[in-house]
Amino acid sequence: MRAVVFVGPSVPPETVRQMVDGRAEVLPPVRRGDIHALYRDGAAKPTHIGVIDGQFFQGLSISPKEILAVMDDHGAKVYGAASIGALRAAELHTWGMTGIGEIFEMYRDGRVDGDDEVAITYDEDTLRPLCEPMVNMRVAFDAARERGIVSADVAERAVEAAKALYFPDRTYRRVLDELAGTIPAGDHARLAAFLEGEEAPDAKRADGIALLERMLADASSSAS
C-alpha cells in the first residue's frame, strides 16, 4: 500500500504530521499533472490518494479527467474534502471518488457552487492562510444562528457581506467592519466574540481531518 495526501492551508502542518505519523506521504497543494507524476517516478504506485488542497489561481488546477484516469487506469482509491478536493469529489462521486465532509456535501447538494467558495490566498512557505474561505464563513455564521448568538437575519447579512468581497479580502474582521452600523450593536459584539473564540467552527480543517482519518483507516485495512 502507498498512501499520498495533497494538503496545505486547510489543516495545520503539525496536525497533519501527528495524524499521518509516517503512514502516508504528505505533499503540497496539488497542481495539474501532479497525480499523473506519481505514476511515472518508478516508485510504488499509490493505492490511496487524498486531495484536500490544490492550486486555483496560482497555477493550473487539477482536472476531473486526471482523477478519473488514476481511478480507472490504476485502480487508485481517491478521496476529496475541504477545498478543491471537495469540489472535485462533488463532480466525480458518482464515478467512484469518495467525498468526505460538510463542504463536499454543500457542493454535492448544490448549496454552493464556484471555486471562490473554497479559494484562499496563503503563505507559500508556511502554508498559513491569509484570508478565510467563504465556505468556512457560511458554516460559522450558520452555527452562530443555530446557537442563538445572532438572528437568522443577521446571519444572512453576514453571508451577503462576505460574498460581496473579493476572495483574498475575506476575513472575519473585514466582514465585521462591513456589518458595523448595519446590525444592532449587541448582535455585532456577540458575533465578534463568537468568531474570535474557540467555539467557531473551521469546516475546512474538520473535513480535512476527517479525510485523513478515513484514508489512513482504509489504507491500513487494505494492507492487513
Residue 78 in grid coordinates: 481517491
Residue 126 belongs to some domain of the structure = no
Pair (161, 207) in one structural domain: no
Judge if 102 and 188 occupy the same domain.
no
Q: How many folded domains does the chain comprise? A: 2
pLDDT in tens, 8-63: 999 999 999 999 999 999 999 999 999 999 988 677 889 999 999 998 766 688 99
Per-residue pLDDT of the chain (224 residues; tens, 9 = 90+): 899 999 999 999 999 999 999 999 999 999 999 999 998 867 788 999 999 999 876 668 899 999 999 999 999 999 999 999 999 999 999 999 999 999 999 999 999 998 999 999 998 888 899 999 999 999 999 999 999 999 999 999 999 999 999 999 999 999 999 999 999 999 999 999 999 998 999 999 999 999 999 999 999 988 76
User: Are residues 76 and 182 located together in one domain of the fold?
Assistant: no
Q: Does residue 113 share a domain with residue 151?
A: no
Range of the domain at 112: 3-120+203-223
Residue 73 grid cell: 487506469
CATH code, domain with 79: 3.40.50
Whether 78 is covered by a domain: the verdict is yes
**Domain check: are 103 and 182 in the same one?**
no
Residue 27's SS3 state is strand
**Residue in 23, 19, 15, 87 with CA at minimum distance from that of residue 51:** 87
Q: What is the C-alpha to C-alpha distance for residues 33 and 13, in angstroms, rounded to an integer?
A: 23
Domain membership of residue 80 (yes or no) is: yes
Same domain, 77 and 102: yes
Per the prediction, the chain carries an average pLDDT of 94
Q: 21 and 102 share a domain? A: yes
Q: Whole-prediction pTM value?
A: 0.94
Q: Tell me: do 13 and 115 sit in the same domain.
A: yes
Q: Cβ distance 50 to 210 under 8 Å?
A: no
Q: Alpha-carbon distance 6 to 54, whole Å?
A: 7
